[in-house]
Amino acid sequence: MNNETMPNFLIKRAFLTPDRIAVYFQDKALTFKELYDYSLNVAGQLQGLGVRKDDFVGVLLKNHLDTVIIFFALQLLGVKSVILNNRLTPSELIWQLEDSTSSLLILEDSFTDIKMVINQQLASLATITKSDLFAKENDSADIKEEISLSDICTIMYTSGTTGHPKGVLQTYGNHWWSATGSALNLGFVESDCWLCSVPLFHISGFSIIMRSIIYGMPIVLHEKFDVQKTIEDISDKKVTIMSVVGTMLTSIVDALTVSGLPEHFRCFLLGGGPAPLPLLEACVKKNLPVFQSYGMTETSSQIVTLSPEYSLSKLGSAGKPLFPSQLRIELDDHTAASPQHAGEIVVKGPNVTAGYLNRPDATKEKIREGWLHTGDIGYVDEEGFLYVLDRRSDLIISGGENIYPAEVESVLLSHPDVTEAGVTGTDAAKWGQVPIAFIVKREGAALTLEEIHQFCLTRLAKYKVPKQFYFAEQLPRNAAKKLLRRHLHELINEK
Ligand code: ATP
Ligand code: MG
């Protein structure tokens, strides 16, 4: 279909604004022209290895300038990149590589053990370290000058927070509309510069490099989140926007002195999980602009974001669906819920995936008539602002009452001596399930279990107050720093 055709994004960007900076990484800065030249070279090296258009190629790389180059080299060839999470075990990686029928895996030089195990157990798969790839002779690459918006660009497995991960198909169109929807909400100004310290293998990070080439905007890429480096670079590199998850924002708030952040800084885009109200309030106090957002791998990052003018009056809301997208709340009988009534969050839009790789059943179950059933519970208010309550699978039903772990965690986190909190359900004969809580104390705090119990009793209805509290050194989190509630129980056995 002709109306779905666009020029290859990087080629177009390098043509439009060749001399603008694309990426700052450590002490290097690359223009769009240089990014294109390097990517073209690597595309030739990949072609020399036999990689061809429409192949699936696995990528297991850290946040690094080279990673950005490799991602764009793969796009120049029209390859589908299977983007793998660095924190997975070899057997999880092998599962995803087999599931995606990847023909090659590109990985970090330092991942020698993983490479060995994969070579032994999946002999049919070719593997190459990035240094070996960069040392290859390069053919002149067969570049895909045009893309179709419905072509698959990336496959990203869901975080597996709730179970076995599924390969989410993300097209060029999904990325295009995600970037466009974001700009139509946040606005885009020529001075914009986006700091990326969330993983590039996660949609939160990958979407930043796609925005970079679509907008012509520089990004500052960090290998990982470092609070001091964040504060320094926001000033020195004139960062205007930064994507964060709750735990990152908490450390930034704690580390900032009264003077806050420089004027040019426009906002933190907060996503990935529940935004505890105490954290949002602390940001208001310190004058830190935060836009809460809601999204997932299946929506190629945010699909709902709070517009700047509502950031105070609708504090705690994830906002309204972005311009190209729609949202409704569905009850169990599939009818639409009225405002203030909780139900499943269901979304639709050109940034929403067409489905899961090799999983027609899961695709059919989750996407009906273009509406993605997210598995998350929320409600909208009379004006259409979304409030996310929790994942349906994490809901605790106690004596017939619904308890949302995120609400209880938010209360726990409002205690000054609590830095992390996780709540889950445990079986109880009389009630079906009751909530229990796991807490990480602020260092040196003398908080007792009884104190925290009393604190909850004055702030939560009795049935929501955890029946047991446990202190922990740390809580189980995945690579995106998301709380893995289904692993909380294991902390009890560790005691
Ligand atoms: P899996 O689908 O494999 O269980 P996952 O859902 O954690 O993993 P992601 O796509 O990384 O994988 O995360 C999206 C999920 O994160 C959403 O479906 C939602 O549960 C949660 N989330 C994102 N934004 C918010 C928010 N603003 N408030 C509450 N939860 C959020
Ligand atoms: Mg999910």
Q: How far, in Å, from the CA of 31 to the mean position of ligand 1?
A: 34
Ligand 1 site, residue 349, Cβ cutoff 6 A: no
Ligand 1 centre distance from Cα of residue 484 (Å): 11
Q: How far is the CA of 50 from the centre of ligand 2 (A)?
A: 34
CB of 273 shorter than 6 A to ligand 1: yes
- Which domains does the chain show, CATH number per domain? 2-11+28-148 (3.40.50.980), 173-392 (3.40.50.12780), 395-494 (3.30.300.30)
Asked whether 136 and 45 are in contact (CB, 8 A), the reply is: yes
Kindly state the helix (H) or strand (E) to which residue 8 belongs, with its residue range: none
Which residue's alpha carbon is at the smallest distance from atom 9 of ligand 1? Answer: 296
Tell me the C-alpha to C-alpha distance, in Å, between residue 31 and each of 34, 238, 321.
5, 17, 33
pLDDT at position 223: 98
Give the model's pLDDT for residue 495.
Answer: 55
* Four-CA torsion 338, 343, 349, 353, nearest 10 degrees: -170
> Is the Cβ atom of 477 under 6 angstroms away from ligand 1?
no
The pLDDT value given to residue 361: 92
Question: Residue 52 corresponds to which amino acid?
Answer: R
Give me the residues near ligand 2 (ion), CB cutoff below 5 Å. Answer: 158
d(CA 76, CA 36): 9
Does 378 sit in the ligand 1 pocket, CB within 6 Å? Answer: no
3-state secondary structure of 5: strand
Phi-psi group of 236: left, alpha or beta (phi > 0 → left; psi -120 to 50 → alpha; rest → beta): alpha
Give start and end residues of each alpha helix (H) in 171-275. 172-186, 203-215, 227-236, 246-255
Dist. CA 346 → ligand 1 center (Å): 13
- How many angstroms from the chain centroid is the CA of residue 195? 14
Whole-number pLDDT of residue 160: 67
Residue in 296, 380, 477, 478 to alter for ligand 1 test, most ligand atoms within 8 A of Cβ = 296
- Tell me how far the alpha carbon of residue 347 lies from the centroid of ligand 2, in angstroms: 13
- Supply the residue whose CA is at minimum distance from atom 17 of ligand 1: 296
158 CA → ligand 2 middle, Å: 6
- Ligand nearest 271 Cα, by number? 1
Establish whether residue 405 lines the binding site of ligand 1, counting it when its CB lies within 6 angstroms of any ligand atom.
no
Mutate to test the pocket of ligand 1, among 174, 294, 478 (most ligand atoms within 8 A of CB): 294
Going by the DSSP 8-state scheme, the letter that residue 42 receives in this structure is H
Q: Which ligand is nearest to the CA of 244?
A: 1
Q: DSSP labels for 107-157?
A: E-TT-HHHHHHHHHH-TTSEEEEHHHHHTS--PPP----EEETTSEEEEEE
Reported as a single tens digit per residue, the pLDDT across 235-291 is 999 999 999 999 899 999 999 976 789 999 999 999 988 888 889 989 988 889 999
CA 163/CA 471 separation, integer angstroms: 26
**Which residue ranges of the chain lie beneath pLDDT 70?**
1-2, 159-164, 258, 494-495
